[in-house]
Structure 1
């Protein structure tokens, strides 16, 4: 009855493992729970049997394991085993008993801690070979049926009992990673159950525990569960170095988009996936570094401009040097398709538009293509009255307003003319002081034009000459008053 219950419970565990295995995956940090099924070969050392290293007398069994991933270095596993230890009739006597035989059905449950050597320090976690050490503690239930002969007579005593004892085990194993889904393994452990009567014989007058057995396991391991893969690229989030890869993009083993030419631009974004290039050009090469991809560059080995399709343009006229018949055209000159100046004179004044400051008004070369002042204005500017200031001040005298108003009228009449104002001072005071005073006087005149008459300040240039350019002797008050002045000149920029 005891043996039947033991077989039934372990048989149910085997059926559970067979149904669970097909949907499982290899155990890892991504799938922390694992399931193992295995066969075992067992050799024992008892009081009447000593063939622990003799494979020819092995007893066969099987079992399953439930494993939990703890870290790259450690796993925790529960192993459930069933096997048979037996010995046919042995002649001779031992401890006053003999000949003897026994048949022992055993079930064990061991909780073991596994030390993995493929932990990323000694071997890679995904290495093909996965060596490990294991040690643990558990329980052994032995259903022993023994026939013991006492003395030299033929009478035998039947021993039939069940024993539940602690079990200690330690050993080593080697895993073989077949795919990411499946691993094979082989493991050997030495087991010490805390009993000395696995064969039904307990030696008298001793507390020594003689019984032990060596168990060799050969099986297959699967993982349980499904790894998290947020971007759906087939690489779990734990191992994915590029967790936000767009759907449908091919990735490498680290979960990053493929980059066939190794230029740092993934193939799905690389417009030149077979040629190393730069990110700025979407993965396309640019040998001359001018910012124009080689496939669009008509001069791929000479830096150029986008306007000339990657070719040099020394004079900057928009015509590539290789096509430029006039390679030294001044900057800003309008050119034709050959890079030569385009001669235009819209107003027909004999001054080409490229140098004509008034291209739509006929003028003269002396005036840079602009019309000159009419006779009255020209005569006035040739003898323009000087304006004067208070002593030691940059304050205009009221007598100066008429001159300023007339010049303001001409600035509005001739919008292509600008005005230069030169300030002056008498000799009283230091050179530095008079220089500053003359500049302030020129600025005071400018302020009249800009503030009172609305003339743009961009059309007026001021300068100061201090006491350097007197128009009268500084030896009299009248002479000094004439030297405190501002002078004006109209010009075309």
Structure 2
């Protein structure tokens, strides 16, 4: 019955290996649990049997292992084993009777818990290396069912010897240690071979105690395992690129993009732009140009640059344009055109004069109204207005204040009328002060007086604010001596000048 149960357990382990799910992957931090199934070859040393390192007399069995990943350097493994250890005939090692050989037959079941020290821990070999050597040691439970037949003296028996039967079950502790090596076949499966020396705390594996010393433990055995290991579960792979999130350095790779072992999109030319985004995947370039090269650094891809060895703007397809007229130097027959000049395809000025005043539109400040060259293409003031402005019209203010005198209103009204009459002109207002007070105070007062005049024109007359510029000169520009009240009153003023922007 014992043999039937143990053999059924081994058969179940092998069947489990045949139906292991196809998505299982190699044991790692992503899939910390692993299942191993294996065969055992046993070489024993007992009082009856002694074939350590002699494969010709090995006995066989099977086993099932459950492995748990702890860290890159350590795993823990629970190994459940069944095997037979027997000797049909042999010589008792410590034979004091001299009556010939004994024989024994036993069945062994063990449950060993071991700690693995892995050498493929990233320091000696990588975790994903093909060869995965390790050391293992631990403790377990060892159950043996022994049937032994031992020759003992017996008068009246043939040869004066009879066979005495020993039949007993033993449950003992087992200490073991050894080494193994794994072979990573694919990301899903690995093979392994392991050898451990086992010391169960008994000297009765063969039913014979050591006649020299009842306390000396002579029995021990080598256990050789050959098997296959599956990782259990499935690693998390959010972006579905085949690289688990734990190892994926680019966890947001778009679906369908080919990646390297780190989960990052392939970059064949090594320019930092992945191939799926690289417009020039076989030439190293820059991210700004979608992976394309730009030898002259002008921001135009070499493949689109008509002058790849000379920097130039995008507008001229990467060719130099010294005068900035939009025509590349190599095509420009008028290379020194003034900035802002309208040019033709050859880079030469286009001569236009819409108002036919003899001033080309490119320099005409009033291109739709006939004027004169001396006035930048704009019409001048009529005779009356010109005469009026020549007198340098000005207004006056209260003493030590930026308050207009009423006598100033007619002048301001005339300025408003002229700005409406000549829309291409703007107005500059200059504020002034007398010499009473500090320079700093008079400077600030003169600015406030210019602003007061502007405020009258914008708020009362509706003149656009952007057509008026104000400035202050303090007491620097008197028009009369500051030694009299009348002179000082004249110096408290604001002056006007019409100009074309």
**Shared fold (TM-score greater than 0.5)?**
yes
Closer/same/farther in 2, CA of residues 451 and 121 from structure 1, 3 Å limit: same
- Alignment equivalent of 2:134, drawn from 126, 132, 146: 132
Post-superposition offset of 1:3: 3.7
Partner of 1:59: 59
**What count of residue pairs does the alignment treat as equivalent?**
493
TM-score (norm 2): 0.90
Partner of 1:98: 99
Post-superposition offset of 1:260: 0.9
Closer/same/farther in 2, CA of residues 360 and 181 from structure 1, 3 Å limit: same
Partner of 1:320: 328
Partner of 2:218: 210
**Aligned with 2:455: secondary structure?**
helix
Closer/same/farther in 2, CA of residues 111 and 363 from structure 1, 3 Å limit: same
Q: CA RMSD of the aligned region, Å?
A: 2.6
Asked whether the 8 Å contact 1:272–1:284 carries over to 2, the reply is: yes
Post-superposition offset of 1:458: 2.9
Q: Distance in 2 between matches of 1:197 and 1:310?
A: 93
Closer/same/farther in 2, CA of residues 413 and 164 from structure 1, 3 Å limit: same
- Alignment equivalent of 1:110, drawn from 88, 109, 112: 112
Partner of 2:89: 89
Asked whether the 8 Å contact 2:99–2:161 carries over to 1, the reply is: no
Partner of 1:10: 10
Partner of 1:198: 205
Closer/same/farther in 2, CA of residues 299 and 208 from structure 1, 3 Å limit: same
Asked whether the 8 Å contact 1:97–1:149 carries over to 2, the reply is: no
**Structure 1, residues 85-129: CA drift from partner, whole Å, max 9, x if none?**
222433577143632222223232222222212122332111121
Closer/same/farther in 2, CA of residues 311 and 22 from structure 1, 3 Å limit: closer
- The range that moved more, 201-210 or 427-436, is 427-436
Asked whether the 8 Å contact 1:272–1:283 carries over to 2, the reply is: yes
Asked whether the 8 Å contact 1:424–1:469 carries over to 2, the reply is: yes
- Alignment equivalent of 2:190, drawn from 183, 186, 194: 183
- Alignment equivalent of 2:162, drawn from 148, 155, 161: 155
Asked whether the 8 Å contact 1:229–1:236 carries over to 2, the reply is: yes
Asked whether the 8 Å contact 2:258–2:266 carries over to 1, the reply is: yes
Does 2:147 align with 1:145?
yes
Q: What are the equivalent positions in structure 2 for 1:335-484 lying under 5 Å apart?
A: 335-383=343-391, 386-428=394-436, 433-484=441-492
Structure 2 portions without partners, runs of 5+: 154-158
Post-superposition offset of 1:430: 5.3
**Aligned with 2:89: secondary structure?**
strand
Q: Distance in 2 between matches of 1:408 and 1:21?
A: 94
Closer/same/farther in 2, CA of residues 164 and 387 from structure 1, 3 Å limit: closer
Asked whether the 8 Å contact 1:21–1:222 carries over to 2, the reply is: no
Asked whether the 8 Å contact 1:95–1:203 carries over to 2, the reply is: no
Structure 1 portions without partners, runs of 5+: none
**Aligned with 1:330: secondary structure?**
coil
Partner of 2:38: 38
Asked whether the 8 Å contact 1:31–1:224 carries over to 2, the reply is: yes
Asked whether the 8 Å contact 1:183–1:222 carries over to 2, the reply is: yes
Asked whether the 8 Å contact 1:181–1:222 carries over to 2, the reply is: yes
Q: Distance in 1 between matches of 2:29 and 2:443?
A: 85
Post-superposition offset of 1:318: 1.2
Closer/same/farther in 2, CA of residues 435 and 236 from structure 1, 3 Å limit: closer
Asked whether the 8 Å contact 2:13–2:37 carries over to 1, the reply is: no
**Aligned with 1:406: secondary structure?**
helix
Asked whether the 8 Å contact 1:423–1:442 carries over to 2, the reply is: yes
Post-superposition offset of 1:436: 4.6
Closer/same/farther in 2, CA of residues 84 and 298 from structure 1, 3 Å limit: same
**Structure 1, residues 58-106: CA drift from partner, whole Å, max 9, x if none?**
2233323222223222222222223232224335771436322222232
